[in-house]
Structure formats: structure tokens, C-alpha cells
């Protein structure tokens, strides 16, 4: 989806007598996402309003309602919560949790490729959310950075479960939808249209490749060219594109993106477990994923607050417009001579990489101090007990 700064006739409308449309966030080929308010609960929400052309398609509406109900039952911190769905006149809509922040796509545009510990911090909650869905028999079918949201509090969540399936089974052609996700489609989705948990795993593998390298594995003049390349070509290891990628991450990506589904992880749960083992083996530091500063959601929040009456704007302290964006900080360095990309040695997302090392060193010293203190105290108590026991007869 792209930012949607223009005026919109739906802004100010109240859908289904309950959900007020406040400001557009982004628009895509089949829907527009708005910042909204549940006037009954006085709760900010995100409203995904489908294109009016879908309102007359009963097959789409039936699938849309069924998928929304199924996703609403899922509970995981890695999933964007679905609150409600409905249709108001010619507008089918979905009511979701409003994530104040931005998308992973916007973060990649700002920061470039991520070091392994940052990539793991993004992938872990995505795989956790997908694992819950896979256990419930649901498949996302459209895993990509545009559908991964990052909150200002560092939460990572995946959105848009079921929408691609609903559109694909509608009478209206979904060619634009499929082409829009060509870079992340599994070979079986390109070849036959079939999708299962292993298809989501493939898409996560491609996304992991992009997180580590800053690029997708296949390129071409058209989306169809990109889509069909994966039928005859394997995804290369990230380490062949950028220096500094641990071999364990190369193996993770290669297994997730095997052309034969049988060679991949069975589902997101299995891939997530492998990622956790890799993080422990490499002793990757914990990392709080930063939200993108220049996001469509932040721009929408500024637009929304600019329209509030002066009195309401001065008394409402629940949401603030974002601070001005600092100068763009890159996390990749291009070596012109070699044509390779190397990770920077100093920072990611404004955080000194050395801080992770010294934090571990401080933690080790603190642990050693407490171990010595406990051993010394135990020794003193033992000596006191022995002395008391030896002189008990004299004392009595």
C-alpha cells in the first residue's frame, strides 16, 4: 500500500453507525486503510475499506465474513487483532487494531539491511503469529514487509490474514493482487495457485533474505518475470550477497525457500523453533525493533490531529504526532570496488552495536560478583556453625 494524503469522501462518515472514518493511511489495489474511531467504545481502530466493486460479489462477501471470523478468534502478540467486519452500502470493511507506527517496508526504506540480531527480532514475532494461524488451519498467503507492522513501542505484528484468499475466490479477477506480491510467492502459488503453511514459510524465507541483504532474491522487468524465476531457480544464501551473515542464517533461508515444499519447514512453528536455536547458539542480543519515523501511519496521525478542534487537540494527551524525523541513518555500506554490501561496524537504528557487547560484559561481571558474594557468605556461615558446634560443650 502507498501513502494516501489526498482528500477522501469517506472521511467523516460513520460506517455501520459505529465506526467513524477519521483520516486515510494508505491505499492499495483492493482497499484503503483509514485511521478511525469506534464511537461506541471510544477506541481508535484501523478500518480497511474494500473497493466498492467487491460489494456486489456474494462469493467474496461470504468468504470475507468467514475469514474475518476465523482470524478474530486468533490470539497472539504477533498478530494484528481483528475486532469486527461489516458492509455499509457499497463498502465492505474490516475493523482492526490500530498499530501506531509503520510497516516493515517503510523501515527497510529508511534503514536498509539489518544485522542478524535485528532480523531475528523481526522474524520471531512474525513466525509466532503465523504459527498460531497454522495450528488453526489458516494460511496467510501474502507474507511480505508491507503486511508486517511495527509499533512505536517496538511490537512486531502481521496483518491481512485471509484477504488474498477472499479476493482470489471472488468473481473479480485478482491479477493485480497476485502481481503485487510476486517477489514473495512460493513456486506452488505461481504454478498452481495452491497454498499451505509451507507456502507461508517460503515467503518468510524470502523476507528473511531481504532483511539481511536489503534486496529480494529475484529481479526482472515485470512482476510475472520475477514470479516465474523461482520455478527454475533456488534462492541464494544471503551470505553470497552481503558479508557478515552467519552460516546458520544462510541455512535457515535455504531450507525455508526450498523449491520442493517437502524440503521446507513444515510450518511457522518449526521454523520459529529453529530460529530460536540459532539465536541461542549465536548468543544474539535482544533488540527492540524501531518503528519507521517517516511512515504513512504517522503522517495520517498528524493529519488527523490537525483537523481536531483547538480545544480537543490541547486536551487530548492519548496520542501525539511524531517528533520530526532525524537525518536518515543507513545500516548498509556499499563497496564500489567489489560491488558487495557490508554491514556497518557502528550502529543499527541509532543504537551503538558496541553497546550490546558491553551490556553482556557488565552482566557477566555482575553475575560473577553475586556468585563470589554468595560463596563468601556461605563460607562464613559454615565457619561460624563449625566454631559454635566445637565449643558447644564449653558454652553449656
Q: What is the grid cell recorded at 2?
A: 502507498
DSSP codes joined into one string, 218-251: ---SSHHHHHHHHHH-PPPPGGGTEET--HHHHH
- Tell me the pLDDT tens digit for each residue of 50-85: 988 888 888 888 888 888 898 899 999 999 999 999
At residue 360, the pLDDT reads 56
Look-up of cell digits 506452488: 188
What is the rounded CA–CA span in Å between residue 24 and residue 366?
50
Rounded alpha-carbon distances, angstroms, from residue 326 to 110, 200, 323, 330: 11, 35, 9, 12
DSSP character for 147? G
At residue 220, the pLDDT reads 84
Strand order in the sheet with 148-151: 101-103, 148-151, 156-158
DSSP codes joined into one string, 251-283: HHHHHHT-SSGGGS-SSHHHHHHHHHHHHHHHT
What is the rounded CA–CA span in Å between residue 62 and residue 161?
15
Q: What is the grid cell recorded at 79?
A: 498478530
Angle at which helix 197-213 crosses helix 104-111, to 10 degrees, equals 20
Q: Are 30 and 177 in contact (CB under 8 A)?
A: yes
Known catalytic residues are: 142
At residue 119, the pLDDT reads 97
β-strand pairing of 14-15 with 2-3: unpaired
What is the rounded CA–CA span in Å between residue 235 and residue 258?
8
What is the rounded CA–CA span in Å between residue 68 and residue 75?
13
At residue 333, the pLDDT reads 36
DSSP codes joined into one string, 76-140: -TTB--EEEEEEETTEEEEEEE--SEEEHHHHHHHH-S--HHHHHHHHHHHHHHHHHHHHTT---
Q: Are 121 and 287 in contact (CB under 8 A)?
A: yes
DSSP character for 331? S
What is the rounded CA–CA span in Å between residue 98 and residue 393?
75
SS3 352: strand
Which of 49, 24, 26, 27 has its CA nearest to residue 35?
Answer: 24
Instruction: List 165's β-bridge partners, or say none.
Output: none
SS3 192: coil
Q: Are 114 and 348 in contact (CB under 8 A)?
A: yes
Look-up of cell digits 501525539: 320
Q: Are 77 and 289 in contact (CB under 8 A)?
A: no
At residue 394, the pLDDT reads 59
Q: Where are the domains of the chain?
A: 2-282
Report pTM.
Answer: 0.76
What is the rounded CA–CA span in Å between residue 86 and residue 248?
45
In which residue ranges of the chain is pLDDT below 70? 1-7, 162-180, 308-364, 366-367, 385-396
Taking the CA atoms of residue 124, residue 128, residue 129 and residue 132 in that order, the dihedral angle to the nearest 10 degrees is 170
Look-up of cell digits 558479508: 243
- Tell me the pLDDT tens digit for each residue of 273-288: 999 999 999 999 999 9
CATH classification of 2-282 is 1.10.510.10, yes or no?
A: yes
At residue 387, the pLDDT reads 67
At residue 6, the pLDDT reads 53
Q: H or E segment at 156?
A: strand 156-158
DSSP character for 1? -
Look-up of cell digits 478468534: 73
Amino acid at each position: 500500500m502507498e501513502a494516501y494524503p489526498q482528500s477522501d469522501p469517506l472521511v467523516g462518515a460513520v460506517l455501520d453507525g459505529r465506526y467513524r472514518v477519521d483520516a486515510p493511511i494508505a491505499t492499495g489495489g483492493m482497499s484503503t486503510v483509514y485511521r478511525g474511531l469506534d464511537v461506541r467504545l471510544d477506541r481508535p481502530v484501523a478500518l480497511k475499506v474494500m473497493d466498492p466493486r467487491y460489494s456486489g460479489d456474494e462469493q467474496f462477501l461470504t468468504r470475507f465474513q468467514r475469514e474475518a471470523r476465523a482470524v478474530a478468534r486468533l490470539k497472539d502478540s504477533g498478530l494484528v487483532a481483528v475486532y469486527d467486519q461489516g458492509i455499509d452500502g457499497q463498502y465492505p470493511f474490516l475493523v482492526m487494531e490500530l498499530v501506531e507506527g509503520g510497516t516493515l517496508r517503510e523501515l527497510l526504506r529508511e534503514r536498509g539491511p539489518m544485522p542478524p540480531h535485528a532480523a531475528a527480532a523481526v522474524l520471531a514475532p512474525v513466525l509466532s503469529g503465523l504459527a498460531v494461524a497454522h495450528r488453526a488451519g489458516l494460511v496467510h498467503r501474502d507474507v511480505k514487509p508491507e503486511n508486517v507492522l511495527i509499533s512505536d513501542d517496538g511490537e512486531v505484528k502481521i496483518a491481512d490474514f485471509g484477504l488474498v484468499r477472499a479476493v482470489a475466490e471472488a468473481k473479480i479477477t485478482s491479477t493485480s493482487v497476485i502481481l503485487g506480491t510476486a517477489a514473495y510467492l512460493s513456486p506452488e502459488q505461481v504454478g498452481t495457485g495452491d497454498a499451505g503453511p509451507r507456502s507461508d514459510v517460503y515467503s518468510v524465507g524470502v523476507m528473511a533474505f531481504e532483511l539481511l541483504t536489503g534486496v529480494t532474491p529475484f529481479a526482472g522487468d515485470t512482476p510475472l518475470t520475477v514470479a516465474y524465476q523461482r520455478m527454475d531457480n533456488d534462492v541464494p544464501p544471503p551470505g553470497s550477497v552481503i558479508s557478515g551473515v552467519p552460516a546458520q542464517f544462510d541455512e535457515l533461508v535455504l531450507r525455508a525457500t526450498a523449491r520442493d515444499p517437502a524440503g521446507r519447514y513444515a510450518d511457522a512453528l518449526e521454523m520459529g523453533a529453529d530460529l530460536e536455536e540459532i539465536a541461542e547458539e549465536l548468543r544474539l542480543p535482544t533488540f527492540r525493533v524501531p518503528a519507521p519515523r517517516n511512515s504513512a501511519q504517522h503522517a495520517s496521525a498528524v493529519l488527523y490531529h490537525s483537523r481536531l478542534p483547538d480545544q480537543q487537540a490541547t486536551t487530548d494527551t492519548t496520542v501525539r504526532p511524531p517528533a520530526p524525523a532525524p537525518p536518515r541513518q543507513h545500516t548498509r555500506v556499499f563497496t564500489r570496488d567489489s560491488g558487495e554490501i557490508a554491514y556497518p561496524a557502528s550502529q543499527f537504528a541509532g543504537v551503538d552495536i558496541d553497546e550490546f557487547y558491553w551490556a553482556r560484559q557488565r552482566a557477566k561481571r555482575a553475575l560473577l560478583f553475586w556468585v563470589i558474594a554468595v560463596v563468601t557468605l556461605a563460607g562464613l556461615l559454615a565457619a561460624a556453625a563449625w566454631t559454635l558446634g566445637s565449643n558447644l560443650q564449653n558454652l553449656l
